[in-house]
Amino acid sequence: MQDNWQRTIEYVRLSLTEACNFCCPYCRPEAIAPESQTNLLSPDEWLVVLGAFHKLGVRALRLTGGEPLLYPKLDELLHKLQARQWFEDVSMTTNGSLLAKRAKELQQLGLNRVNISFDAVDELTFDIRTGRTGQLPDVMEGIEAALAAGFTSVKINTVLMEPMSDDMVRSLLAYMEKWPVIWRFIEYMPFQGDAFRGPTFEEWQAQLTRICGGPLIPVEKNGAKKSSKRKSVKGFGPATYYALPQGPVVGFIFPMSHSYCHECNRVRLTSDGRLRLCLLRDDEADLVSLVRKGMGVDELADHIVSVLQLRREQHEGPEMAAPKREMWRIGG
């Protein structure tokens, strides 16, 4: 399946709910709207949509939110996906606070990989980043449980809200040595209407290189295309991966200062059943209404192909205006 710029779409991100038990400042406001857990799509409604994407050749599915572990029928959806074996990779992005008791069960239900949002390793900064207090131990327990559960990989996502001090970077490096994870650093995006803050791709790469005392070695991905015999990382997303001189692998996701629009291979499904063509643009198409009117998989697949031809070539970068949908309503 290709869009009008001949980019192959093989990866879908599905936001199951807008609800979240954290209030990270780059994502959502302090108030959580009560309607965020009402009018959710049922597993069977999602299966019609996902069946259409399967027919069109999508290979990878990522479940997001909000916090996807708050979706009340998550186990049912995973069970039905496991029975169908539509996707070669089913993964999830979570804040990790609810993961400790469910990690093994999710792995047994067919969840292959998990990414955990983790923006600081000290309690005070973590409280500020999440808008909550006392959650750091639960998230760390969730990370440990994920590592013990047998997932194909566990990745940590850290949003760079502003430049980090060298001491903060060294603290993260210490945890990279402790946990066998792949740590990914994500560029701050101005979803709350404020200005782009940096650091840029080049600035962050230079800081890590200086602190590590040696060059970062490029690492290939083996999700979207076949890899050579070089060290590789499983993934269908946009991250650029490097091995640190000490051995751990880190990922860079910098859509503002290091755009990957020319190779973008994914679309997003919002929790209210809309197909969003770009994270940083407001182009959307209503799918759930068509499903609820009885449209089947084949006809829906044809509709999705036509909608994909409306994708833009790229977003505006650091000068972009804030999207009308907030991050927490997209599942970014």
- Span 143-192, pLDDT tens digits: 999 999 999 999 999 998 888 899 999 998 899 889 999 999 998 876 55
Pairing mode of beta strands 232-233, 240-243 = unpaired
**What mean pLDDT is reported for the chain?**
88
The band of 35, judged by pLDDT with boundaries at 50, 70 and 90, is: low
pLDDT of 259: 72
pLDDT band at 316 (very low <50, low <70, confident <90, very high): low
Contact (CB, 8 A) for 87 and 234: no
CA distance 184 to 121: 14
The yes-or-no verdict on residue 286 having pLDDT over 80 is yes
- Encode pLDDT of 47-59 as tens digits: 999 999 999 999 9
Which one-letter DSSP state was computed for residue 34?
G
Q: In the prediction, which pLDDT does 166 show?
A: 93
Min mean pLDDT across 71-85, 107-121, 271-285 is at 271-285
Measured in residues, the chain has a length of 332
Single pTM value for the model: 0.91
pLDDT of 32 reads 63
Token pair belonging to 62:
């990522």
Using the structure block, give the residue that is written with the tokens 């069970």.
Answer: 79
pLDDT range class, residue 102, cuts 50, 70, 90: very high
State the pLDDT at residue 231: 55
* C-alpha separations of 57 from 2, 88, 228, 239, 327 in Å: 10, 11, 24, 22, 27
Tracing tokens 């995006």 back to the chain, one arrives at 189
For range 12-30, the mean pLDDT: 86
